[in-house]
Every structure is written in C-alpha cells, then in structure tokens.
C-alpha cells in the first residue's frame, strides 16, 4: 500500500535552508576585508556540480536502456531525448563561464590565496562523468604525475572503480551497433557495393583534378595526394585487418563491426527506420564536441584570469587544461565516419525488398 501524501512547502521541498547556507566565504573568515567576488566564484562552481549530478543521472539511465540484449526501438527515442537534455545542459555549462568572467583577474586575486590547494581537478562528479562516458585511463593526461583518483578519499576511489566496471556509454553504444540488424542483409553485400562506389567517386575526382586548366602540375600532384586512394582514408573500413592494426596502435577504438554499422546508418539515414539511430550517433558526437568546447573555453578563461601562473592545485594551469581538451575525446571514431562518407549520387541503391524492410511497412491480412 502506498504511503499517504503529506503536504509540502516549496522551501522545504527544495531544502532551501541547506542550499542557501552552503556559500562559506573563506575571505570572510580569514581576512579583514571580504572579497566581494568570492560569492560569485562559489555559486558558479556549486551550480556546475548540480548540473554534473543531473548529467550523471541521465547518462546512467541511458546506459541502463542499452544494457538489454535487444534494445527496444522506443528506448532509442527515450535515450536520444535524455542525451539531448545533456547537450542542452552542456551549453549552459559553457555559458556559465561568461558569468564567471564578469569577475576580473584582479578581483580573483583578492581571494585566490585562500583557495590553495583546492582545484577543479578535485571535482569527483566530473571524473565520474568522464568514466561513465567512456574515457579510458590510458588516454588520460597525468596530473602532476599522479593517478587521477589520487586526490579522492577511499570511498570515492571505490566508486570510481565501480563506475569503470559497470560499463560505459561508449561500450553500451558499441555493443548496440554491433548487434544492429542492419548489417545482416542476405540479398545485399553492403561492403562490396560500398567499395565499388568509393572507387567510382575517387576516379571521378581524380579525373576532374587532372582535367583542370588552372592548376599547375605541382598543384595537381598535391591535390591528388590529398584526395588519397582506397589505401589511405578508406583502408580501415575496406580491410578488417587494417582496422585491427589501427586499433592496436591506438588510432581507432570502435570495433570494426560497430564502425561498419555506424557508416551504414550515416549513409542511409534517410530510410525511416534509421532516422532515430542516426540521431543517436549525432547526439553522441555533439556531447563529445560540447565537452571539448567546454574544456577549451575553460582553458581560455584560466589563461585570462591567471596568465601562465600555476593552478591552485599545482597543475600547469592553462597548458594542462588545453591539452586535456585535445586529448580527452571519447567518440572520435563517430566523428571520423565523415571521412568515409560518399555523395548520395554514388550511394549504392538498396534492393526493393531491403528498402521495404528499412521503411515503416505494414500489411493487412485478409480476414
């Protein structure tokens, strides 16, 4: 039997007393003249942590939706909606930097000394987000030559370890792509027709370059090299062994089968049944892109506030943050699918029966 609802007030429901009393200014406790800007600094970072909590909530729910052996089609729509919410939150995270930058570098120096050795690197929730998104430990930049979890207590370290064992969003999406039915076409050898289409496309582009009447011989040679062949940009998708070699070298992460499925979804996105899978891949690349944007923007803010000073936690400040923006990408393989795309005019035509399967097709039995 469910519990009887009791009345509640807005103030108590949101625990406003706790929330509004959580801003403790160190400059007020330790200095004769409190720093006015410290309130802004605290509130902006507390808001960040609240949004991190919501992002973690959404990511865990999506991982749960994809945990089943067979993903219900309606779950894909739910997952896309929740991940789109994550991207909306990410845009807010970037915008919040503008609010923080209303504080000048000189304003920040009024209370910066009271922050040592605290650092944004110690944000536990941000590390949880990275782990459940799928950032691999081997891909992380070291922080003062220490393990990224070294700044946390034993309980937090255990939680990070559990999060890494529980399966990441990257792993869930990879497994989903690998088991999509779009690759099992008895009447249509996708890779065979794709290879032919790539060759046709490259041949046309090579002929157009060679026939140019305004390019020099050197420029023609250079553009032909830039265009490449099936042995350059397309080798990893046309040859499973090459893909494996690049995985072993750390150049690629997504499995061959999952990459093939992602390519097919991108190429045939206009088929009705592939609309939602395509949106899923798009929102994942957008999440990656927005976190990269946030990291770059954060690094630029630190450069503006501190110049080349060392961070309060002992990191190299701007240099460390800008390097993580470049290094800590998760869904790069989905971005790289664009390298493998071919024009719609070169796209292999699907057999009628297969096209019907990829559409919303219904029949009514005679009764």
CA distance 96 to 267: 37
Q: Which residue has the tokens 């290094």?
A: 327
Give the residue-averaged pLDDT of 163-173.
91
The pLDDT assigned to 366 comes to 42
* Domains defined along the chain, listed by start: 34-183+253-336 (1.20.58.480)
Classify 134 in phi/psi space as left (phi over 0), alpha (psi -120 to 50) or beta.
left
Q: For the chain, what is the radius of gyration of the CA atoms? A: 26
Residues 248-298 pLDDT 10s: 999 999 999 999 999 999 999 998 889 999 999 999 999 999 999 999 999
- Residue 363 has, within 13 A of its CA and on its CB side, a CA count of 5
The confidence score (pLDDT) of residue 311 equals 56
In this prediction the pTM is 0.89
Average pLDDT, the chain: 87
Mean pLDDT lowest for which of 174-188, 288-302, 330-344?
Answer: 174-188
Cα gap 357→119, rounded to integer Å: 54
In angstroms, the CA 176 to CA 120 distance is 34
Ranked by mean pLDDT, which of 160-169, 276-285, 326-335 comes out on top? 276-285
CA atoms within 13 A on the CB side of 226: 8
Q: What is the pLDDT of residues 21-44, one digit of tens each?
A: 999 999 999 888 899 999 999 999
């Amino acid at each position: 039997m469910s519990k009887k609802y009791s009345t509640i007030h807005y103030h108590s429901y949101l625990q406003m007393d706790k929330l509004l009393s959580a801003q403790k200014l160190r400059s007020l406790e330790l200095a004769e003249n409190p720093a006015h800007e410290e309130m802004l600094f605290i509130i902006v970072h507390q808001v960040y942590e609240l949004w991190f909590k919501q992002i973690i909530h959404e990511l865990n729910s999506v991982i749960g939706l994809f945990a089943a052996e067979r993903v219900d089609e309606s779950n894909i729509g739910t997952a896309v909606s929740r991940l789109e919410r994550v991207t909306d939150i990410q845009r807010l995270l970037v915008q919040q930097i503008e609010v923080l930058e209303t504080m000048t570098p000189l304003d920040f120096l009024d209370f910066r000394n009271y922050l040592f050795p605290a650092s944004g690197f110690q944000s536990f929730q941000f590390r949880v987000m990275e782990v459940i998104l799928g950032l691999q430990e081997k891909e992380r930049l070291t922080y003062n030559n220490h393990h990224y979890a070294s700044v946390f207590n034993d309980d937090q370290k255990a939680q990070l370890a559990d999060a890494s064992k529980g399966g990441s969003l990257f792993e869930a999406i990879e497994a989903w792509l690998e088991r999509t039915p779009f690759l099992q076409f008895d009447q249509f050898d996708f890779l065979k027709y794709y290879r032919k289409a790539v060759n046709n496309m490259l041949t046309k582009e090579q002929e157009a370059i060679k026939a140019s009447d305004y390019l020099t011989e050197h420029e023609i040679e250079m553009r032909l090299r830039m265009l490449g062949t099936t042995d350059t940009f397309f080798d990893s998708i046309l040859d499973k062994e090459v893909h494996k070699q690049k995985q072993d070298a750390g150049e690629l992460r997504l499995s061959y089968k999952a990459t093939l499925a992602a390519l097919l979804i991108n190429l045939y996105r206009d088929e009705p049944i592939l609309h939602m899978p395509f949106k899923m891949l798009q929102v994942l690349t957008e999440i990656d892109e927005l976190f990269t944007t946030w990291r770059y923007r954060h690094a630029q803010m630190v450069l503006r506030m501190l110049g080349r000073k060392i961070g309060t936690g002992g990191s190299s400040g701007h240099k460390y943050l800008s390097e993580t923006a470049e290094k800590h990408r998760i869904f790069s393989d989905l971005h790289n699918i664009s390298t493998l795309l071919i024009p719609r005019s070169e796209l292999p035509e699907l057999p009628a029966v297969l096209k019907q399967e990829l559409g919303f097709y219904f029949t009514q039995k005679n009764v």
